[in-house]
Amino acid sequence: MKSKILCLSLILILGLSACGVSFNLPTPGPTQSEQISIPVPEASSQSTQLLLTFGAGDLNLKPGAEGLVYGTATYNISDFKPEIVNTGNTVEIKQGNFKFNVVPNLTDVINTWDLELGKAPMDLVISAGAYHANYDLGGLALTNLTVKDGASDVNLTFSSPNQAQMNVFKYETGASQVSLNNLANANFSLLEFKSGAGNYTLDFSGSLQRNASVTINAGLGNLTLTFPENVPVQLTVNSALANVTMPGSWARNGNIYTQAGSGPAWTVLVEIGAANLVVTNK
């Protein structure tokens, strides 16, 4: 876990140093573990809004809670002690604050959230910084999902179908490595993905229950899109500089690529800079 934080922190430090920004973390102390147990708000008539605000460290999410959220937070800096704020139909779990003065040494820092989420309908919003994350959101009832992070290493999957119709899934990231898997199981109407320089993989496997739209805005780096065979796809690529690699079975008409199939369809728009775009089948 320490090596993951160190790797991500180096990216963060280099970026902030280039901007003339520096900060100081308190000295790590004894490791503490705190249980987090949050019931579904009584005021919840439809979807609960769950906000997770996290900084540097490891954030792990999976299904399994009987209420809204259950799990533990482990840390060795007192300012990382999580705070829970309940406001009507909104619940926020946030990492404590610290001041920024000089470039920190994160070698000995421990900050890990291991959380289970319940099956009550929810809008989930994750805001994070330089962190490592493993998300399994399969089997939940997500009505909207928003993830916004910085220098990150994220593996997100929907291991089983979402139990609600998701309206919008928004993902915005910086210089990161992000893998989104089994996206058909998310059951969203629209996916909006925006990234900077990095390596990004979007796997559209799973059970596609209805037509879905995807917009991708990517900068430098590598972008891989994987679609199951025999699922209809219309992919539009807008770029003057990208290197595009497509399966031989796909048809092309200008900047529009199509895969023939039956059932619900994917409509995908990619706006990409000087990057590598690879489309594969599985």
Give dist(CA 111, CA 32) in Å, integer: 10
Rounded to an integer, the average pLDDT of 238-264 is 95
Tokens at residue 193, please? Answer: 């993905």
Please answer whether residues 81 and 34 qualify as being in contact, where contact means their C-beta atoms are separated by less than 8 angstroms: yes
Looking at per-residue confidence, does 98 or 241 come out higher?
Answer: 241
Per-residue pLDDT at 105 exceeds 60: no
Q: What is the pLDDT of residue 103?
A: 38
CATH class of 2-281: mainly beta
How confident is the model over 160-181, as pLDDT tens digits? 999 999 999 999 998 899 999 9
State the first-to-last Cα distance of the chain, in angstroms, to the nearest integer: 32
Q: For residue 98, is pLDDT > 60?
A: no
pLDDT at 108: 81
Structure confidence at residue 7 as a pLDDT band (50, 70, 90): very low
pLDDT for res 109: 87
The reported pTM is 0.89
Q: Which two tokens stand for residue 203?
A: 């796997």
Question: What 3-state DSSP class applies to 9?
Answer: helix
**What mean pLDDT is predicted for residues 141-168?**
97
Q: What is the pLDDT of residue 5?
A: 40
